[in-house]
Amino acid sequence: MMATPALDRIVRLETGKSADLDGVMKVMTDAFGNRYGEAWTQSQCAGILPMSGVSLRLARDAHSGAIIGFSLFRSIAGESELLLLAVLPSRHREGVGMRLLDDFIGQAQNDGIARVHLEVRDGNPAISMYRSAGFTQVGRRRNYYHGADGLRFDALTYALEL
Ligand SMILES: CC(C)(COP(=O)(O)OP(=O)(O)OC[C@H]1O[C@@H](n2cnc3c(N)ncnc32)[C@H](O)[C@@H]1OP(=O)(O)O)[C@@H](O)C(=O)NCCC(=O)NCCS
């Protein structure tokens, strides 16, 4: 999906930094909850951010400036991995998630990356979005996510050749 002028009027994308993590964690908590064990803690985010090849991208409401979504990804040795992607539930289905996904893919293309990949919980509705962007399933990691109630959930690995 390509960027649309209508969406540009309500959302702007920019690179985030450690000072933005409070706003990112609000989206993280609201979007993921704690049921499936998909969310990262603030200290996990703060720990990875300074690492080489790691990017945090923010989607801000164009009017209020509030963070309404974010992506976190890491590029190493010719491959790029989407680590996290989330949008505030009150802003779902406005195209923000796909805009962040397009941004991730576009950044990888600009960097000459040949293949992008990600892990997603089996059953996560986000899989529809990844499939519509061209990702295909390449693997399964059993019991990868540890839910709050002791339940385990498989992760599916998806990849897209650029
Ligand atoms: C996944 C997520 C980022 C999607 O964000 P979003 O801004 O609502 O996504 P978009 O509006 O750009 O949706 C793009 C397309 O993806 C698909 N899609 C998105 N959410 C969907 C859902 N809940 N069910 C089915 N399809 C969905 C649809 O095809 C949608 O297009 P459409 O609205 O024209 O039908 C958001 O639901 C979220 O934050 N989920 C919780 C966090 C998460 O699980 N992240 C992914 C794993 S890291």
Domain boundaries, given as residue ranges, for the chain:
5-161
98 CB less than 6 Å from ligand 1?
Answer: yes
Q: pLDDT band at 4, cuts 50/70/90? A: confident
Answer yes or no: is pLDDT of 147 > 80: yes
Answer yes or no: is pLDDT of 65 > 90: yes
pLDDT at res. 120: 98
Q: What's the whole-number mean pLDDT along residues 15-42? A: 96
pLDDT at res. 1: 57
pLDDT at res. 6: 86
Measuring from atom 33 of ligand 1, which residue has the nearest CA?
93
Strands (E) across the chain are located at 11-15, 54-61, 67-76, 79-87, 115-121, 136-146, 152-161
The residue with tokens 């962007």 is 133
93 CB less than 6 Å from ligand 1?
Answer: yes
Question: What does CATH list as the number for 5-161?
Answer: 3.40.630.30
Measuring from atom 21 of ligand 1, which residue has the nearest CA?
125
27 CB less than 6 Å from ligand 1?
Answer: no
- Express each pLDDT in 71-129 by its tens digit: 999 999 999 999 999 999 999 999 999 999 999 999 999 999 999 999 999 999 999 99
Cβ-contact 21, 46 below 8 angstroms: yes
> Average pLDDT of the chain?
96
Q: pLDDT band at 2, cuts 50/70/90? A: low
* Ligand 1 mutation pick, 27, 98, 127, max ligand atoms within 8 A of CB: 98
Q: pLDDT band at 61, cuts 50/70/90? A: very high
- Express each pLDDT in 21-33 by its tens digit: 999 999 999 999 9
Cβ-contact 158, 118 below 8 angstroms: yes
Measuring from atom 18 of ligand 1, which residue has the nearest CA?
129
Query: d(Cα 4, Cα 134) in Å, to the nearest integer?
Result: 19
